[in-house]
Amino acid sequence: MKAPVLRNLFRKQAIEMPPAIEAAALRSDRFRLEREPEWRRLEAILNRMEKGRLRSIPDEDVLALPALYRMAASSLSVARETSLDKSTLTYLESLVQRAWFQVYRPQQGFLGWLRGFLGGGLSRSVQQIWLDICIALAAMIAGTITGWLLVSRDQEWYYALVPTGFTDSRVPGATREVLLESLAVQQDAQGLSAFAAYLFSNNAGVSILAFALGFAFGVPSLLLLVHNMAVLGAMWWLFSDAGLSWEFAAWLSVHGTTELFAILLAGAAGIHIGRAMAFPGSRSIMAAAAQSGRRAAQVMAGVVLMLMVAALLEAFPRQLLGMNERFLIGGSMLAIWVTYFFALRPAKPPFLPEPRE
């Protein structure tokens, strides 16, 4: 109930207003009178925006909108803490909600978002987690070396590391001809689409798991990268021992430069969240996790797109082309990804300050 209405009610009933209630009413009146001009100005701007009359809004009002929104949010916070009258609280809650929607709602459609995402948003997020990419890359290299060394010393490690789906004919003791046949060029693409779907599902699972495990300070993500690359190290030893290092590298490069890059970014995104939680600095752990999570989620959206490309490359060009063509495609894809993610310097987006209550 508004303070003036409350006073009139007491006067009509010839009852003296208690001092505590009168003080609260005066405080509510003073609070409202001091801030009401900004509220009314914000309300007028919102009315025009909601009616689609953007051209009629002066430039100074458009520039003042974020500041007016912050002041209204701050007033709402004070009103709640000091238990001001209900009508003021209701008015401020409605005003702040309307202003939030106008300030932070998406101003573009899906195509506009996609253009901004591919035109700079994704590469910007990747560049911002460069340290985590270096950490993930070190873990992947260490995992590859570990797998190679373990299998070279004891071939039983090969069966412990490599999934059964890859141990059909590619096992220790297989002849060079058998191993070379597993890398051979196929004559047609029949059945390869199902193989592409399987590989996409498998690699996407590894990537998502590496990202999701980042909440535990990034340690499980690192371990998963090491284990996943130990499989590659074990298989590389197998083909190298048969004198097929270049053939295996060509077979792998077609999709590997895209797929392994995607797994690298997924692991780095998980490590980025874990590192932010372990070392939040002046922020709270939740605030650090939220900020890093938004950036990592954008990287993961790019990872999904990369895995789709990798699945197509893995099932078709890798199986249908010779060694030289495989190296050409793999090298070209690596150059494209490195250039897109690190060589380009996208412009920074316009900054809108966060509201402070």
User: How many angstroms separate the CA atoms of 354 and 62, rounded?
Assistant: 16
User: How many angstroms separate the CA atoms of 197 and 316, rounded?
Assistant: 12
User: How many angstroms separate the CA atoms of 20 and 140, rounded?
Assistant: 69
SS3 of residue 101 by DSSP? helix
Reported as a pLDDT band with limits 50, 70 and 90, residue 6 is very low
Q: Determine the average pLDDT of the residues in 112-117.
A: 75
Query: Helices marked H in 154-284 — which ranges?
Result: 156-161, 176-182, 192-212, 219-241, 245-278
Q: Determine the average pLDDT of the residues in 241-247.
A: 91
What is the DSSP secondary-structure string of 324-342?
Answer: HHHHHHHHHHHHHHHIIII
User: How many angstroms separate the CA atoms of 334 and 325, rounded?
Assistant: 14
Q: Which of 36-50, 140-154, 203-217 has the highest mean pLDDT?
A: 140-154
Q: What percentage of residues in the chain have a pLDDT greater than 90?
A: 26
Q: Determine the average pLDDT of the residues in 320-341.
A: 88
What is the average pLDDT value for the chain, to the nearest integer? 79
Close Cβ partners of 206 (under 8 Å, ≥ 6 residues apart)? 224, 228, 263, 266
Q: Determine the average pLDDT of the residues in 123-127.
A: 91
DSSP state of 51: T
pLDDT the model gives residue 336: 94
Lowest mean pLDDT among 82-91, 260-269, 292-301: 82-91
pLDDT the model gives residue 317: 62
Sign (positive or negative) of CA dihedral 187, 193, 197, 200:
positive
Query: Does residue 7 or residue 181 have the better pLDDT?
Result: 181
Exposure on the CB side of residue 61, measured as CA atoms within 13 A: 19
What is the DSSP secondary-structure string of 291-327?
Answer: HHHHHHHHHHHHHHHHHHHHHHHHHTHHHHS-HHHHH
Reported as a pLDDT band with limits 50, 70 and 90, residue 146 is very high
- For residue 138, which of 229, 4, 236 has the smallest C-alpha distance? 229
Whether 348 shows a pLDDT value over 60: the answer reads no
pTM of the predicted structure, to 2 decimals? 0.65
Instruction: Give the pair of three-digit tokens for residue 353.
Output: 């300050």
Query: Does residue 15 or residue 174 have the better pLDDT?
Result: 174
Q: Which of 55-59, 205-209, 313-317, 327-331 has the highest mean pLDDT?
A: 327-331
Whether 157 shows a pLDDT value over 90: the answer reads yes
pLDDT the model gives residue 306: 92
CB atoms within 10 A of CB 1: 11
Q: Determine the average pLDDT of the residues in 114-136.
A: 88
* Rounded to 5°, angle at Cα 74 from 71 and 76: 110
72-97: pLDDT as tens digits: 888 888 877 776 677 778 888 888 88
Q: Determine the average pLDDT of the residues in 307-320.
A: 73
